[in-house]
Amino acid sequence: MDGSSGASPAEGSATKEVANHEDVEAMMASLGISETDLDDVVFEEEIEQSQVDNRWMAVGRVHTDTEFSHYWFFKNMRSAWDLAKDVKIRVIEENRFIFQFACLGDWEKVMEGGPWVFRGKTVLLAPYDGFSKPSSIELNKVMMWIQIHDLPDGYKGMVKTLASKVGDFVTQEQASTDMVGNFYRVRVKIDVRKQLKSVVSIIRAQKRELFLVKYERLPDWCSVCGMLGHLYKEHGDGVHELSAQVFRGLRAESAARFGGRPSARGRGRGQGRGGRGGRSEDLFWEDDFMSEDDSSDPNKKRPALPPNAGIGDGKGTNVGVILQQFEQGKHPPSLPPSPPIKRDPKRSKIAVTNGAIEGDKVLNNSELAGLQEGYRQDQ
């Protein structure tokens, strides 16, 4: 069992057509009409479809039973997605929307990224072809990265099978020696109608082994019943003993690499939790300032500063020498004292003007020149 249905695309399409046919017949029966009561309009595929712009569309809803503001939902999601171009959002039901993106890059970023949240609640999305009834599209699954912890290397060939017990398998991240943490990362589609799995198990030689499951960027979930969409304080009367919270501790820390960027996909810009919308994984990493050669080997020592790496014109303190001496356990040399402040000569207290006042007496130019000469001799 690997979580896949095993049906071919042709078989899946035929099954969908049969189900659609049965739905039509059931609807006609409920309305009390027959084929003779219908006046069908024939849709010319090649002619009519060319007039419809149905590219890059999606249908979505928020996984919550509480009411919320459409205005703030649109505003927060636009901010969280940080799209290159604007997105058109249309309300078709109280909690069902149609999104149309303006370019392929924006559509892939939203559909393959996530999980997206609004006020802590999961935003469920599904591709839309523009011709299916929006109300007929199931919105019950969300893609999420999970971590299977403490799994021995001998079981690494069973990661896909174990992940399929949590949700529909999408992809697996290859094991790497520079990953922080003892776990395997797997991308799965989780059904929000089912309990979250806290463990997966293997029976080997009639002995059962349990391995913890953690969820990255996990939206609001109940630690009592293990369901997404509400908190344990909203379960029943909200008063629960710690022993009853058997699903606590499911949220995983973001996976990171030694001296590098996080390996999680879709680390976009502007995805903070302002208003609890979007994602929160906008971290700051040291290798933003490392060169391309340095970032390829996080254990590589940075080159020592040259001995002539001084300050100014070379007359100041040599930074390279001080750092090298400090690394060798030597105390840096004492800095030379600062030169004394150069004082300006005293200015004459007698204004050089056409006339000056000394006490109540007004001096003329000749008397003023005499006073200035005597002042200079005193200096």
Q: Residue 87 and residue 83: Cα distance in Å, rounded?
A: 8
Rounded mean pLDDT, 328-355? 55
Indicate if the pLDDT at residue 236 is higher than 80: yes
Q: Residue 92 and residue 98: Cα distance in Å, rounded?
A: 7
Indicate if the pLDDT at residue 250 is higher than 80: yes
> How far, CA to CA in Å, does 65 sit from each of 91, 94, 121, 201, 229?
17, 11, 10, 33, 8
Number of H helices, E strands in the chain: 8, 13
At 366, is the secondary structure helix, strand, or coil?
helix
Amino acid at 269: R
| Residue among 150, 144, 148, 142 at smallest CA distance from 160 | 148
Q: Is pTM, for the whole model, over 0.95?
A: no
Q: How confident is the model at residue 340 (pLDDT cuts 50, 70, 90)?
A: low
Q: How confident is the model at residue 169 (pLDDT cuts 50, 70, 90)?
A: very high
Assess contact for 298 and 178: CB atoms under 8 A.
Answer: yes
Indicate if the pLDDT at residue 296 is higher than 70: no
Comparing 94 with 307, which gets the higher pLDDT? 94
Residue located via tokens 């001998």: 154
